[in-house]
Amino acid sequence: MSVFALLSKAYPSRVRDKFKDMLKYSTYKVIPEEFMGEVLTGSSVGAVILTLALTYFDIVLMHVLVTFIACFIVLQAAVVVWLSLNISKKANIVDESLPDALQLMSSNIRAGLTTDKALLMAARPEFGPLEAEIRRIGKETMAGKSLTSALKKTTEHIKSHDLERTVELMIYSIDAGGQLGDLLDQTADDIRDQQMLRKEVKASVLMYVMFIFIAIAIGAPALFAMSSFLVELLTRNMNLIASEMPSDFSSAGGSAMPISITEIKITAEFIRRYSLVSLTLSSFFGAMVMGLIMRGEEKAGFKYFPPMVAIAIILFLVAGFLLQTLLGGMMSI
């Protein structure tokens, strides 16, 4: 047993089972124990590097140990998200090629081929992950295994609702002695209709997605940059007034007016950090909403998060630099 396999035992059993299931549905053909050990090692090293970097920039969450734990959890979550996106991508490829594969199987069956040969003849490279499953079913059937048991194993490798429903219909048709070719044709037509409907819905909600993206990635950074600039302007001016103004004023009659201006405790650096945190959180939740609108599931929005937060932070920094360059000189900032 390798070192990485031993390190994988540090995970709780439920976490190990979860990783194994996700790897089974993904396109990565690796040993689960080795993978978990590598993830644990990489997350630990990455958390140490991030903690040192954050400490260098004086960004520490209460304590260095808390910062390390937070970085470790974030890196572990990133791996889970990466696997989830891979599983969804594999399922989407299968869903796109499933109607063509079903119609090809139906044509082979109608041409007089046996079911196992019809499946093998329908295995085409353009079907992607579905090709391997079709070949597996055909080979297991030719080796003497029942078609229904070979079909049931398909949903153990691909997490697709359309494929799962198709397999259930095929098993029911085989058990009932129905015409499998007609069923495959009808199922392919139904899946195509569903895909067309999804594309129409996706096109109709595209305006909402664009609005969310513009508001978070363009509008919010500009507003935060102007807010930071104004806060810095007011803070410096008020502190300057407070340092030069006497503690009280005397009226003409000699009575004192208790008017005093103290220095503002809030700093421009605090506003900048608050803006960066707000932009990051807004980009994260905005990406989740975009994924929910576009694909019907929040995890589909994870792929939008990196470009959104990158654009938002870059625009925030650029807008702040332009304001300082164009207006800072006139206002003595």
Q: What is the mean pLDDT of residues 207-236?
A: 89
Please say which residue of 90, 122, 141 terminates a domain. Answer: 90
| Domain match, 149 and 105 both | yes
| Domain match, 306 and 321 both | yes
**250 located within any domain:** no
| Domain match, 222 and 314 both | yes
Mean pLDDT of the chain: 84
Q: What is the pLDDT of residue 17?
A: 92
The percentage of the chain sitting over the pLDDT mark of 90, rounded to a whole number, equals 33
| Domain match, 211 and 291 both | yes
| Domain match, 51 and 106 both | no
Residue with tokens 């608050």: 274
**254 located within any domain:** no
Please say which residue of 63, 90, 117 terminates a domain. Answer: 90
Q: Which range has the top average pLDDT, 39-43, 124-128, 165-169, 267-271?
A: 39-43
**167 located within any domain:** yes
**111 located within any domain:** yes
Q: Which of 197, 195, 171 is nearest to 183 (CA)?
A: 171
Q: CA 118, CA 93: separation in Å to the nearest integer?
A: 22
| Domain match, 38 and 110 both | no
| Domain match, 127 and 226 both | no
Q: What is the pLDDT of residue 252?
A: 46
Q: CA 130, CA 154: separation in Å to the nearest integer?
A: 9
Q: What is the pLDDT of residue 54?
A: 80
pTM recorded for the entire structure? 0.78
- Segments in 143-267 forming alpha helices (H): 147-152, 161-176, 180-204, 206-214, 220-244
The radius of gyration of the chain's CA atoms, rounded to the nearest angstrom, is: 30
pLDDT band, residue 308 (cuts 50/70/90):
very high
**49 located within any domain:** yes
Q: Which domain holds residue 229?
A: 205-245+259-327
| Domain match, 192 and 214 both | no
Residue 247: is its pLDDT beyond 70?
no
Residue 239: is its pLDDT beyond 50?
yes
| Domain match, 117 and 151 both | yes
Q: Residue 183 has which token pair?
A: 């069923």
Q: CA 40, CA 157: separation in Å to the nearest integer?
A: 25
| Domain match, 282 and 317 both | yes
Dihedral over Cα of 190, 192, 198, 203: its sign: negative
pLDDT tens across 165-184, in order? 888 888 888 887 768 888 88
| Domain match, 159 and 76 both | no
> Amino acid identity of 295?
R
| Domain match, 145 and 185 both | yes
Q: What is the pLDDT of residue 266?
A: 72
Count the domains in the chain: 3
pLDDT tens across 66-106, in order? 888 889 999 999 999 999 989 999 999 999 999 999 999 89
